A and B are shown apart, each in its own frame.
Chain A
Amino acid sequence: EPEVTQTPSHQVTQMGQEVILRCVPISNHLYFYWYRQILGQKVEFLVSFYNNEISEKSEIFDDQFSVERPDGSNFTLKIRSTKLEDSAMYFCASSGGTGLYGELFFGEGSRLTVL
């Protein structure tokens, strides 16, 4: 069964460093998302991406964050100058060609620990 894959599963970084989280969405999906979940808190939306551009972003997704689809299969989240409060589980998701009505499929997540 097709699935969303994420790497790394866990990354530890020092405060102020840059990290890149990678995702391979389901192959025929067109809509891509990043969410995050701080330990013990709700899953929060960060950004959605369609047709090589951001279609919606939350107030969390400020200039510290960026997303890119560098090729036909990968979707990345870059976090510049990481802060302690960026420690969270980051989930990538994708959905198919039904746009706003489509079911979202999530990856297993990348746990980011900022020291």
Chain B
Amino acid sequence: KQEVTQIPAALSVPEGENLVLNCSFTDSAIYNLQWFRQDPGKGLTSLLLIQSSQREQTSGRLNASLDKSSGRSTLYIAASQPGDSATYLCAVKYTGRRALTFGSGTRLQVQP
């Protein structure tokens, strides 16, 4: 079964710390992987999209990597800020599918 798993489920860090969120997927046959941010009761904001042929993507303080062979992606957040507090979702588009398969998310709390 094609699944997406995110570890840890929750993370609390002091402001200024660099941190890594993990995402793993069960099948290496993917079109792309997308990271989202979700604030409580709100919609999903796209952060980064990595195509299967790419190794990483960067946007500001965010860097996402992709290792298809090991079925892993990481989201690196540099110099975290209280405003980064949210749930971060990883979603995979498996080959042959139009659907995104989502992980359960990592709930991040950045303490001022």
Which residues in A have some Cβ–Cβ distance to B below 8 Å? 31, 33, 35, 42-45, 48, 50, 55-56, 58, 91, 93, 100-101, 103-109, 111
Contacts and interface: CB of A to CB of B under 8 A. Distances in A.
B59 to A, nearest CB: 12
B51 interface: yes
Q: What is the predominant secondary structure among interface residues of chain B facing chain A?
A: strand
A43 B99 contact: no
Contacts, number: 53
| Interface size grouping (class) on chain B | 20 to 34
B107 to A, nearest CB: 11
B103 A42 contact: yes
8 tightest A-B CB contacts, nearest first: A45-B99, A108-B43, A106-B44, A48-B98, A43-B102, A56-B98, A103-B49, A106-B43
B1 interface: no
Contact of A107 (B41, B43, B89, B101): B43
A43 B46 contact: no
B91 to A, nearest CB: 7
